Structure 1
Amino acid sequence: MKDLKQFNIPFVGLKEGSHEFQYQIDKKFFEAFQFDEFEDAAINVTVTLVKKSTLLELQFDATGTVTVPCDITSELYDQPVKGSFPLIVKFGPEFDDENEEILVLPYEHYQVNVAQYIYELIVLSVPSKRIHPKVQDGTMESETLKKLKQLEVKKESTVDKSATDPRWDKLKDLLTGKNT
C-alpha cells in the first residue's frame, strides 16, 4: 500500500468550500490491491471534496474503460466503466468505517486516503457478467462460438403432444382401476 500515497488528501490546510482532485487509474493501481481480473485500465476519477466546519463531503466520479476477458469467448475487450459514490467524513474519538457512506476519523487525523474507495467504486461498477459487444450483436467470429453452435441442443418441433409414454399409461390404469 506504499504505492498509494498519492491518494492521500491533506484536508487540514484546505479552506472551507469545494476542492477537486483528479486521478488517472491504470493497471498498477489494481496491482497494489493484488487484483488481477483486469488486463488493463484507463479510468479518470474525480474526487470533489467539500470542506465544512465539522465534516467533509466527498463525491467520487469515475469514467473510463477496463480491459477484461469475455465470459463466453475469453476474447479481451474494453468494458466501459462509469460510477459515482458519495462519502461523508466525520470526526470522532476513534476510527470507524462500519457504515459504507460515513467514515469517522480520529480528531488528530490531518489527511484521508481515498484509494480504497476508488478501488471499490471501479470494481463494483464493472458488470459481473462480461459479454463482448460483438457477441451481443452477433458479429463475433471465434472458434469458441463455432464450437458452442455445434454443441447447441437442437429443439425438435415435430413432437406429437398426443402421444404418451406407454409406461405412464400403465400407471394411469392403476389410478383409475381399469385393466386392459
Structure 2
Amino acid sequence: MKDLKEFNISFIGLKDGEHHFEYVIKKEFFEFYNYDEFNNSNVHVNVLFLKKTTMFELDFKLTGWVEVACDVTNEMFQQPISSNLKLIVNFGKEYNDENEEILIIPYSEHTLNVAQYIYEAIVLAVPTKRIHPGIEDGTLNSDILDKLKEFEINREENEKIEDNQDIDPRWNKLKDILIDKNKE
C-alpha cells in the first residue's frame, strides 16, 4: 500500500443514485500515516455514496477492532470499535475542508479520496482510556495487575488511620460552621 489509490472514488462515470464501496482496513493502512498506536487492526468500512447532480452525500459505517495496549497493564488486546461518519461534498472554486461535515472540491475534480476520512473516523472511535476487558471481569492474569493490587490501599484501613490522627480543634469549629450553614 504505497499510495492510497484504492480509496479513490471516481464519480465522473457514476450515475445519480446510491453506490456502495467496501474496504477492509489492516495495519498497513496506518503505516502510511505513520500512526503506530495500533499493533494490528481489522476494520470493515462500508461507504454509501449518494450521487446527486450538484453534490454527493457519503455515509461511512465502520465496525471491527484495533489491537492496542491497555493503559493499566500494558497488555495488548483487541479494542472493538464502531463508528458512523456523514460527509457532504459540494463543488466550488477551490478546495475547502474547514467544516468537518462539508467538503468543497473544485469543479475540475473527478475523483474523491476517502482514506483520510476513514483514518480519522477509526482513530476517533477508539476510547481515550483503553482498559483490557479482562480487568473489568477479573479474568486477566498479569504481573502488573497483581503488583497494583498489592499496593492498593484498603479504604477501611485508610479511614481508621484518619480517625486515629489528632485533629486540630480549629478544623472542628470550621466543620460546625459548615453544618450550621447547610441547615439554614
TM-score scaled by length of structure 1: 0.88
Q: How does 1:115-154 map to 2 (within 5 A)?
A: 115-154=115-154
- Runs of at least 5 residues in structure 1 that lack an aligned partner in the other structure: 174-180
Q: How does 1:11-90 map to 2 (within 5 A)?
A: 11-90=11-90
Amino acid at match of 2:5: K
The count of corresponding residues between Structure 1 and Structure 2 is 171
Gaps of 5+ in 2: 174-184
- The one-character-per-residue Cα deviations of 1:5-43 (angstroms, maximum 9, x if unpaired) are 110000011000000001010000000010000000001
Aligned to 1:120, the other structure's residue is in SS state helix
1:140 and 1:20 mapped to 2: Cα distance? 40
Distance 1:63 1:170, change over 3 A: closer
Tell me the secondary structure at the aligned position of residue 71 of structure 2: coil
Q: CA deviation at 1:154?
A: 2.9
- Which stretch of structure 1 is more off in the superposition, 144-153 or 81-90? 144-153
State the distance in 2 between where 1:35 and 1:163 align: 51
Deviation above 6 Å: which 4+ runs of structure 1? 170-173
1:50 is displaced (CA, Å) by: 0.3
Q: How far did 1:172 drift?
A: 8.6
Change (3 A) 1:146 1:111: same
Q: Which amino acid aligns with 2:106?
A: P
Change (3 A) 1:63 1:159: same
Superposition RMSD in Å: 2.1
Percent identity (aligned): 50
Residue aligning to 2:111: 111
Alignment of 1:95-106 (within 5 A): 95-106=95-106
The CA deviation at 1:159 is 5.0
Which structure shows the higher helix fraction? Answer: 2
Counterpart residue identity of residue 154, structure 1: N
In structure 1, the partner of 2:160 is: 158
Tell me which residue corresponds to 1:178: none
Which stretch shifts more, 149-158 or 4-13? 149-158
Distance 1:142 1:90, change over 3 A: same
Q: CA deviation at 1:140?
A: 1.2
